Structure 1
Amino acid sequence: MSYRIAVIGGTGPQGKGLGYRFARHGHTVVLGSRAAEKAVPVAAEVTERLAGVDGAGEVTGASNVDACAGADVVLLAIPYDGHDELVATLPLDDTIVVSCVNPLAFDKQGPSGRVVDGGEGSAAESAQRIAAGSRVVGAFHHVSAVTLWGDADFLDEEDILVVGDDVEAKQVVMELARSVTGRDGVDAGKLRLARQLEPLTAVLISINKRYKTHSGVRISGL
């Protein structure tokens, strides 16, 4: 099934890379930015990258608010700083919202996960609290922007871990994971487990720095 996907923060590396992957496999994508004039040239760059790809979906640029209009799925690919304020401005009622936001901190010792709501919350849960009429799912936290923008048709050595409380919404996002890895995402449990998934990204960044690579997550035993 093909979806209309709004990527909020679609001009950043993660948002652009995910937008490219979704469009590459037939979905219609609107890259959002605070200003439409910033999103339009990035959409053109992605469209150019898709030249010659059979069945690719259309990619356009718009303001964040306009990108949400008519979207089946809204992906939040935004920094954690300013996250709550931005989410509050978006029309997200009755929409599946995917959060790949990673609240991270950096100091002399390297990356670490930031504590959200005293350890009893996450960016994904904050989005659900603010956009109470939406259905929030956490996913795509651990995919490198570099590999997303790479040449491989699928990142088939990785798994997409998906958490959420709405079964139907989670199933849609697990299906969307096929655009990235070539197979369904892994049902990793309830939305509150985003508290573990989001800071795990800091571990991958540390691995990447030490081994000069772009690591991901793969689940064995399935």
Structure 2
Amino acid sequence: MRIGILGGTGPAGGALAVRLASEGFDTVVGSRSAERAAEVCDRLKGEWPDRGLPLSGADNNGAASCEVVVVATPWDAAATTAASVAGELAGKVAICMANALVKMGREFQPLIPSRGSVAASVQSAVPRALVSAALHHVPAHDLGDLNQPVDSDVLVCSDHPEATDTTMEIVARLPGVRAFDAGPLSSASPVEAFTAVLLQLNVRYKTRVAVRFTGLDLEGG
């Protein structure tokens, strides 16, 4: 499976690209500039020279041509970036991992986009895509550290069963991660907003927290 990452040159997108590639996904780092994407790919592969990571760089159109696409841009560019490649995204699963947040001093505050969530805004911008929301609570550092498992649960929200299933299949391939179906895309609003709480905990306790749920039995269905 080829996975393209819009905004793959940023911290979250680059970390996810490395992790996906390490699990055997042919991963394309996307950027407005193909040259910038190639530079980032070279840097990421240089950080893990013995891994043989299947990473390549392309402009956003090239990344959007993949089978599955991740929107990892800053939150305020997510919908417009997706809309710019709407033709490529039609009929495809598009995973939105952006969070609408603002930092006021030492405090993180969630913002509520006009559609209720960044993921819903992306879905509105590319109505023919199969948008899911996922990976909001996974620290970028943990994603990008291939020497350690991720150690996090991931909630997946979508109005499209195919998007939910595909996203969960990809996420479950990441070591240490459990994926859960958290319902329709409307649930993405509180999921995204909760990221502000996790970041506040990071500041308070000088750590990197992630989410684990109890009482959920994956083997039992």
Q: TM-score, normalised by structure 2?
A: 0.91
Contact between 2:154 and 2:177, CA under 8 Å: does it hold in 1?
no
Q: 1:177-197, CA deviations, whole angstroms, 9 ceiling, x for partnerless residues?
A: 123344541111111100011
1:20 correspondence with 2:18: yes
Q: Which moved more, 1:175-184 or 1:212-221?
A: 175-184
Q: 1:63 aligns with which of 35, 59, 66?
A: 59
Residue 85 of structure 1 deviates from its aligned partner by: 2.0
Residue 62 of structure 1 deviates from its aligned partner by: 0.8
Q: After superposition, where does 1:135-150 map in structure 2 within 5 Å?
A: 135-150=130-145
Which consecutive segments of 4 or more residues in structure 1 shift more than 4 A?
Answer: none
Q: Which residue of 2 aligns with 1:209?
A: 203
Q: Which moved more, 1:187-196 or 1:77-86?
A: 77-86
Q: Could you say what secondary structure the match of 1:189 adopts? A: coil
CA distance in 2, matches of 1:137, 1:181: 21
Q: 1:221 aligns with which of 208, 215, 221?
A: 215
Q: Which residue of 1 aligns with 2:182?
A: 188
Q: Which residue of 1 aligns with 2:122?
A: 127
Residue 169 of structure 1 deviates from its aligned partner by: 1.6
Q: What letter corresponds to residue 55 of structure 2 in structure 1?
A: V
The gaps in structure 1 that reach 5 residues or longer are none
Contact between 1:4 and 1:27, CA under 8 Å: does it hold in 2?
yes
Q: How many residues in Structure 1 have an aligned counterpart in Structure 2?
A: 214
The gaps in structure 2 that reach 5 residues or longer are 217-221
Contact between 1:176 and 1:184, CA under 8 Å: does it hold in 2?
no
Q: 1:90-122, CA deviations, whole angstroms, 9 ceiling, x for partnerless residues?
A: 1210110000010112213611110222xx521
Residue 84 of structure 1 deviates from its aligned partner by: 2.5
1:176 correspondence with 2:176: no
**% identity of equivalent residues:** 34
1:102 correspondence with 2:99: yes
Q: What is the CA RMSD across the aligned residues, in angstroms?
A: 1.6
Residue 45 of structure 1 deviates from its aligned partner by: 2.1
CA distance in 2, matches of 1:84, 1:221: 35
CA distance in 1, matches of 2:124, 2:6: 18
Q: Which residue of 1 aligns with 2:219?
A: none
CA distance in 1, matches of 2:110, 2:175: 25
Q: Could you say what secondary structure the match of 1:177 adopts? A: helix
Residue 51 of structure 1 deviates from its aligned partner by: 3.3
Q: Which residue of 2 aligns with 1:85?
A: 80
Q: What letter corresponds to residue 134 of structure 2 in structure 1?
A: A
Residue 219 of structure 1 deviates from its aligned partner by: 0.9
Residue 175 of structure 1 deviates from its aligned partner by: 1.1
